[in-house]
């Protein structure tokens, strides 16, 4: 048998998150990921962990991700400074609400995807909370810091951990420790104490399920994690299931489904650019991106359902029914909740319509598939009362 493919590691010594010892104690299989030694799975394995998250609640350590505050004199100043780098509407964000957006380069290519929250409270006017991908965080923060005007400052929160609690029972489990989070709506953030730890609780996630991402002081995260895990509905979930969960939810993995040579329009993320931002024309690569909105793109990100049982992994060639190459799979595998193979990838725009028949060339053999709507599973976000 050949070795299973390992995640790419960094050359430098691996870093640990504040939960490293707990992962080892829980029997996790640790692998290098974005420069960190991270749990890919625990004892139950990827399949069971995935299904548990969809049925109950899964707890993920995502402390490798980058967290920062961007602060300035008032919201408008900070928002407008940030909007020089992203096409998302930061200005109209309500206090306490979050937006998914993209750091773009001058060609309109995606440097990273990120979450931006406008902090609530009068004392927090002019304060944004940023969460970026682990593999990009150093470059992102350097880029943001270098592009801020005088008076707007980036402070990286290196002393904070980040955990995610996801699944249909996440809210109930969370309410045991923090009843104040129960009615919090999707894509909002609350600054609140949980069990003596000053937390930033975001109702969001990367699984398609209801749940939370909780920013916790590094020295308090192990105690909070142990408390959450003492709830029998909550189990620790590794990066393996995190990947299959996000793929079923149709969510992009940066560096795979999105990169510096892909624009938001090609990436089917046009919805992240508001009318005002289109009209203002003031984000990196705006000319290219807005031109693509008007004139269309030559390739587009789509969901793919293989017709047989064979998974089509990242890098699999996509052809038309005559065998001409029309694209490539950027994420693919087995969807445990779907009960079969699923994928996403890029195809020439003529083939991007739902239901279009395609072929996937797996191990030299063309296999039938079709373009499918994403998500592959129903999203179950909590929109509030």
Question: Toward another protein, which CB reaches closer, 66 or 333?
Answer: 333
Question: Toward another protein, which CB reaches closer, 231 or 243?
Answer: 243
What is residue 346's DSSP assignment?
A: E
**Interatomic CA distance for residues 360 and 367, integer angstroms:** 5
From the list 120, 139, 288, 310, which residue makes contact with another protein (rule: CB under 8 A)? 310
In the complex, least distance from residue 309 CB atom to another protein, rounded to whole angstroms: 6
In the complex, least distance from residue 4 CB atom to another protein, rounded to whole angstroms: 4
Q: Nearest to residue 214, comparing CAs of 163, 265, 171?
A: 163
From the list 17, 53, 133, 244, which residue makes contact with another protein (rule: CB under 8 A)? 244
In the complex, least distance from residue 223 CB atom to another protein, rounded to whole angstroms: 30
**Interatomic CA distance for residues 170 and 220, integer angstroms:** 20
Q: Nearest to residue 329, comparing CAs of 253, 218, 264?
A: 253
**Interatomic CA distance for residues 157 and 221, integer angstroms:** 14
Mention every residue, 6+ apart, whose C-beta is less than 8 A from residue 29: 39, 40, 41, 42, 238
Question: Toward another protein, which CB reaches closer, 66 or 311?
Answer: 311
From the list 22, 28, 38, 40, which residue makes contact with another protein (rule: CB under 8 A)? 40
In the complex, least distance from residue 28 CB atom to another protein, rounded to whole angstroms: 13
Q: Compose the 313-352 pattern: x for residues touching another protein by CB under 8 A, - for all others.
A: x-------------------xx-x----x-----------
Scanning 155-163, 207-215, 310-318, 349-357 for contacts with another protein by CB under 8 A, the matching segment is: 310-318
Question: Toward another protein, which CB reaches closer, 208 or 264?
Answer: 208
Residue 332 token pair? 């693919």
Burial class (CB in 10 A: 0-12, 13-18, 19+), 70: buried
Stretch 250-309 residues interacting with another protein (CB under 8 A): 309
Residue 14 token pair? 């691996």
**Interatomic CA distance for residues 128 and 116, integer angstroms:** 7
Tell me the angle at which helices 170-177 and 221-229 cross, rounded to the nearest 10 degrees.
120
Between β-strands 57-61 and 234-236, what pairing exists: parallel, antiparallel or unpaired?
parallel
In the complex, least distance from residue 50 CB atom to another protein, rounded to whole angstroms: 7
Residue 250 token pair? 């149709």
Stretch 47-86 residues interacting with another protein (CB under 8 A): 47-48, 50
Q: Does 353 bind another protein (CB under 8 A)?
A: no
Mention every residue, 6+ apart, whose C-beta is less than 8 A from residue 384: 183, 184, 185, 186
In the complex, least distance from residue 155 CB atom to another protein, rounded to whole angstroms: 36
Q: Does 364 bind another protein (CB under 8 A)?
A: no
Contact positions vs another protein (CB under 8 A): 1-5, 40-41, 45-48, 50, 240-241, 243-244, 309-311, 313, 333-334, 336, 341, 363
């Amino acid at each position: 048998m050949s070795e299973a493919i390992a995640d790419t590691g960094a050359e430098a010594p691996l870093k640990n998150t504040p939960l490293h010892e707990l992962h080892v104690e829980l029997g996790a299989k640790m692998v290098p990921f974005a420069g960190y030694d991270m749990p890919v799975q625990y004892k139950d394995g990827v399949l069971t962990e995935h299904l548990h998250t969809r049925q109950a609640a899964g707890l993920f350590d995502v402390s490798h991700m980058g967290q920062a505050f961007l602060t300035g004199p008032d919201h408008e100043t900070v928002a407008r400074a940030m909007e020089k780098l992203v096409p998302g509407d930061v200005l109209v964000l309500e206090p306490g609400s979050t937006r998914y957006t993209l750091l773009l380069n001058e060609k309109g290519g995606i440097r990273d995807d990120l979450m931006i929250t406008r902090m609530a409270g009068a004392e927090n006017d002019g304060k944004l909370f940023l969460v970026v991908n682990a593999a990009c965080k150093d470059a992102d923060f350097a880029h943001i810091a270098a592009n801020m005007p005088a008076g707007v400052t980036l402070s990286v929160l290196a002393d904070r951990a980040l955990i995610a609690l996801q699944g249909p029972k996440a809210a109930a489990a969370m309410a045991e420790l923090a009843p104040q989070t129960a009615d919090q709506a999707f894509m909002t953030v609350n600054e609140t104490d949980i069990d003596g730890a000053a937390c930033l609780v975001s109702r969001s996630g990367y699984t398609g399920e209801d749940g939370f991402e909780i920013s916790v002081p590094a020295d308090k995260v192990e105690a909070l994690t142990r408390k959450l895990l003492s709830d029998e509905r909550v189990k620790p979930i590794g990066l393996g299931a995190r990947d299959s969960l996000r793929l079923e939810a149709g969510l992009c993995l940066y560096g795979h489904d999105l990169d510096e040579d892909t624009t938001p329009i090609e990436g089917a993320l046009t919805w992240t650019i508001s009318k005002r931002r289109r009209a203002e024309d003031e984000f990196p690569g705006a000319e290219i991106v807005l031109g693509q909105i008007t004139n269309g793109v030559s390739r587009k990100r789509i969901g793919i359902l293989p017709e047989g049982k064979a998974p089509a992994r990242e890098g699999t060639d996509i052809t038309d029914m005559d065998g001409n190459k029309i694209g490539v799979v950027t994420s693919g595998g087995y969807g445990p909740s779907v009960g079969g193979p699923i994928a996403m990838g890029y195809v020439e725009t003529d083939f991007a319509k739902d239901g279009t028949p395609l072929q996937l060339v797996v191990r030299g053999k063309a296999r039938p598939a079709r373009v499918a709507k994403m998500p592959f599973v129903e999203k179950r976000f909590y929109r509030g009362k």
